[in-house]
Amino acid sequence: SQQGEEDPQALSIQEGENATMNCSYKTSINNLQWYRQNSGRGLVHLILIRSNEREKHSGRLRVTLDTSKKSSSLLITASRAADTASYFCATYNAGNMLTFGGGTRLMVKP
Amino acid sequence: DSGVTQTPKHLITATGQRVTLRCSPRSGDLSVYWYQQSLDQGLQFLIQYYNGEERAKGNILERFSAQQFPDLHSELNLSSLELGDSALYFCASSASWAGGEQFFGPGTRLTVL
């Protein structure tokens, strides 16, 4: 079963625009992670935010976490064509299994 | 490059057959995880090994088994293959046994005909 659910399922923007993806999860967490997957390739870890953090930055990425709403958002600023990929949020469940949402497919048009 | 290697990259086989997927974790990582990614099921956790011992088990079928060897590489064995087993199989590794970021390999694409 999926712990996280991303929204939207697909997003298409122009290069230079910002992209925002949302993730909701069901149970309490210690941390939440975001991963990127280029088509048919392995997942790449982007950022980890702990449950006691509200916001975290890494380059053009900004992640927020609202534990009261059990939600997180990933913002990619000044998007580039190379950002075209699927983005997944992931959390650990009680059984130490990292569970992924269905992902947001982002397309950045040049 | 994550430092995690998987072989083979592609595998095409027939129903009823058995295959073995291999994974070498990043240097120093003791945990190895296996995932299956298919269009209908998404990315599903299968099993985790930590320093040779099974640590967590997810939606892994009884026809599937895994092990981690003393040199920390891992193998995922899939037997009595069915058409529905066609998927991408990923291995990931991490330094700790719980809670941290995972580093994914490039995956093995399995096609069952």
Residue B110's pLDDT is 97
Pairwise CA distance, residues A4 & B9, whole Å: 29
Predicted confidence at residue B97, as pLDDT, reads 81
Task: Flag whether residue B89 sits within 8 Å of chain A, measured between CB atoms.
Answer: no
CATH 2.60.40.10 for domain A5-109, yes or no, is yes
Three-state secondary-structure class, residue A59: coil
Which pLDDT belongs to residue B25? 97
CB contact under 8 A, B109 and A40: yes
Other CB atoms closer than 10 Å to residue B52's CB: what's the count?
15
Q: Mind listing the pLDDT tens digit of every residue in chain B (113 residues)?
A: 889 999 999 999 999 999 999 999 999 999 999 999 998 888 999 999 999 999 999 989 999 999 999 999 999 999 999 999 999 999 999 998 887 899 999 999 999 99
pLDDT at A3: 59
Q: With contacts defined as CB-CB under 8 Å, which chain B residues touch A103?
A: 42-43
Question: What does the pLDDT look like over A64-89, one tens digit per residue?
Answer: 999 999 999 999 999 999 999 999 99
Residue A2 has pLDDT above 60, yes or no: no
Whether residue B106 and residue A45 make contact (CB cut-off 8 A), yes or no, is no
- Segments making up each domain of chain A, as ranges: 5-109
Asked if B15 contacts B82 with a C-beta cutoff of 8 angstroms, the reply is yes
Hey, are the CB atoms on A31 and B45 less than 8 Å from each other?
A: no
Q: How many CA atoms lie within 13 A of B52 on its CB side?
A: 3
| CB < 8 Å to B43, chain A | 43, 88, 100, 103
The span from the CA of B52 to the CA of B74, in Å, is 9
The confidence score (pLDDT) of residue A97 equals: 87
Q: What percent of chain A is modeled with pLDDT above 90?
A: 77
In 3D space, the residue among A95, A1, A42 whose CA is nearest the CA of residue B92 turns out to be A42
pLDDT classification of A1: cutoffs 50, 70, 90:
very low
Burial of B90 (0-12, 13-18, 19+ CB in 10 A): buried
